Amino acid sequence: MSLKSLNSIQRAAVEAVDGPVLIFAGAGSGKTRVLTHKLYYLVREGLFEPEEILALTFTNRAAEEMKSRVKKLLKRKTLPLSIGTFHSICARLLREDIKTIGFSQNFAIYDVKDQLDLIKVLIAELNNSKNLSTPNQIRTQISFFKNKMITPDMQARKARTILEKYIVDIYRAYQKALKVNDALDFDDLLLYPLEIFNKKPTILRKYQKKWKYILVDEYQDTNRPQFHFLTRLAEKHQNICVVGDDDQSIYGWRGAEISNILDFEKFFSSCRVFTLEKNYRSTQQILDAAISVVMNNDRRAEKNLIAAGGSGESIGLMETVDEQEEASAIVSALEKEIKLNKRTFSEFAVLYRTNAQSRALEDSFRRIGIPYNIIGGIRFYERKEVKNVLAYLRLVVNLKDTITMRRVVNFPARGIGAKTLDKCVEQARKDKIELFDVLKNPHKMQIRGKQAEALSKFYELIKKYHDLREKLSASELARSLIEEAGVLKHFKESADPEARERFDNVAELLTSIEEFCIREPDATLSRFLEDVSLLTDIDHWNDSDNRVTFMTVHSSKGLEFPVVFLSGMDDGLFPLYNSLDSKDDLEEERRLFYVALTRAAERVFLLYSTNRRRMGAENVSGIPSRFISEIPEDYLERIDFSSAVTRKFVSGKRQQDTRTELIRTITTFDDFEVGDMVKHSIFGVGKIMALSGSGENQRVGVVFKDGTRKKLIVKYANLKKITG
């Protein structure tokens, strides 16, 4: 395999090996192709051994794709490359060397829910009754400090107001509590390697010797700790290649610093720069519209994206009355695209600025019966019953984790209430021992009867499996522990109508652990828990499903779809109101819009509403986003909603152009029977196999000719009975 498939600039960037390299990769310019071919080139040419290369990404999905592509290019089944996210690579480093800063190798990784639970405990302990800030606001503020590498002591010197001093107090107590619990949050995963490098230069030299060539994807999204991590690792050999697009820097709110990529040449003076401008994804119309908007930003690197394909269609612009009408307009335009261009559901994505916007869209899609995947809802590993089981496993690994212990000590119910737990906490403080250790002697706390028995049994259960954790596989331990704890029995015997689903979710979790053990036979329970804790929303997305994808614009980064609907293009919603007073924030919103447009390969629809309900309040009057006015009229096709939703292109004949008829006027209720043949505008011809309800509540179960089975509300399905 040669580099002949690359264009001249891509090839030059791949072959540039010695010293620092910066690759500006415009949207759709083959960034992943360049990265994978560079890894292939480094190994094939014998320039570096695979184990000497470190490749860093921002999602597990990107890491797996890169690894898979490189193995395919090299025709190898295994490849000892270090490829992973910043967080996963740092977590592995810490598992090996964190003892030098006072943590154990079994440290827990706290997710957002764990962080909030801990902060709530700390607020209660500080006895603050003023409710100066919510736990989530405090968590967000602490994360901001860490991303800027601001310690509690540093912030204390700046604090002036009561609120600022209060947050510093919580921040300081939070860091101490994490240490006591032998736990790290996501931000700590990036900070503590730097602390280790500073305290133990020998460990830094170990990793400099280990990783002689460093590749970084999406470099524009790096924050201050990530920048320092990379510069420390690269300072010896200077062999670092970063790839990114400043126009797609959209994570300033979580600490990303666009200066990292724009000023890369200042940090690495001998740097060579390559700019990839040939776009292999979008039409020229889409690219020109996107560039015309982002050019209004002051601080950016100049790029001129040229589409490898044709000019394409104009950007569709649709004005609607409110969010319900907006959803109906999307459905109708989608139907038209399916009929005219023979598209499948998986070819569509509906993007929005905030998660809250999905509700009206979901309602509309459910009524019509259009299948969809929503990215950003409650993920599998965040479901309560799944998280409870994971908590059992985490406690077995780390007995110091009091937040995790609080979660499961009374699940399933053992009669251990808050008062009993408070006694345990107080005894642990008095005796200066771990909270877990006081459970073995409940009588010392004047706890008697069933509660005492429950505490002792819980202690014995967890201690038993803690001692077995190195002797059993992760799968064996998990299944045995959960059965002995009575979790499966609890859901099996529960009268809760959702209990069956919860039972199935726990069973699915146990299956996932088994599959993990098959994939990685030598991996420990700690490793499984680490992998789960570092998963992101997008890692759960299955693009093989024939469903429309719903997601925020942030979640869509790195993905592409033939057709993109961008809803909520109202000024104040996109861009958000709170960004309008800040030049930097507004520029980031503009970059976010650029990302949204460039997710589309063939067609983009922009939708805004003149009235929209915001935050549960009354409808507010809206105007089109200022970003729409930054797109030249030549690139826009204004589509009247009435003509957009008419079925004249869908059904093959002109119908009355009334929105009311489309949404509400349907076959008379109650005139369907089991066995009737019907036609649906999207799913085609099918047979009614079941009926339930009556009048406006009537539902039908239909099996369509392609095997698709749908339960539809007659009122909204617009079914046509086929007679004769």
Residues marked as catalytic: 31-32, 217-218, 248, 599
Q: Does 412 sit behind a cis peptide bond, omega within 30 degrees of 0 on the bond before it?
A: yes
**Read out DSSP for 112-144?**
HHHHHHHHHHHHHHTT--S--S-HHHHHHHHHH
The pair of structure tokens assigned to 305 is 């994206």
Is the distance from CB of 457 to CB of 424 less than 8 angstroms? no
Which residues make beta-bridge pairs with 703?
A: 687, 709
The span from the CA of 382 to the CA of 194, in Å, is: 30
Helix 474-485 to helix 384-397 angle (10° resolution) is 110
**Distance, CA of 615 to CA of 622 (rounded, Å):** 14
Contact 250, 554 (CB under 8 A): yes
Length of the chain in terms of residues written? 724
- 445, 410 contact by CB (below 8 A): no
| DSSP-assigned letter for residue 386 | H
What's the rounded Cα separation, in Å, for the pair 215 and 243?
8
CB under 8 Å to 43, separation ≥6 — which residues? 49, 50, 53, 70, 74, 79
As given in the structure block, the two tokens for residue 392 are 């059992």
State residue 45 phi and psi, 5-degree precision: -80, 0
Give me the sign of the Cα torsion angle 500, 501, 506, 509: positive
Beta pairing class for 611-613 and 619-621: antiparallel
Q: In the β-sheet with 240-244, what is the strand arrangement from edge to edge?
A: 82-85, 53-57, 213-216, 240-244, 21-25, 272-276
**Does a cis peptide bond (omega within 30 degrees of 0) precede residue 575?**
yes
User: Phi and psi for 391 in degrees, rounded to 5?
Assistant: -65, -40
**Contacts by residues 536-540 (CB-CB < 8 Å, ≥ 24 positions apart):** 536/59, 536/60, 536/61, 537/375, 537/376, 537/379, 538/59, 538/61, 538/375, 539/59, 539/60, 539/61, 540/375, 540/379, 540/380
- Which sign, positive or negative, has the C-alpha torsion 412, 413, 416, 418? positive
Amino acid sitting at position 442? P
R_g of the chain, CA atoms, integer Å? 28
Residue 494's alpha-carbon distances to 351, 412, 458, in angstroms, are 39, 11, 21
Cβ proximity of 283 and 602 under 8 Å: yes
Report H helices in 23-111. 31-44, 60-74, 86-97
Nearest one of 18, 84, 9 to 45, comparing CA atoms = 18
Q: HSE (CB half, 13 Å, CA atoms) of 596? A: 32
Query: SS3 string of 140-175?
Result: HHHHHHHHCCCCHHHHHHHCCCHHHHHHHHHHHHHH
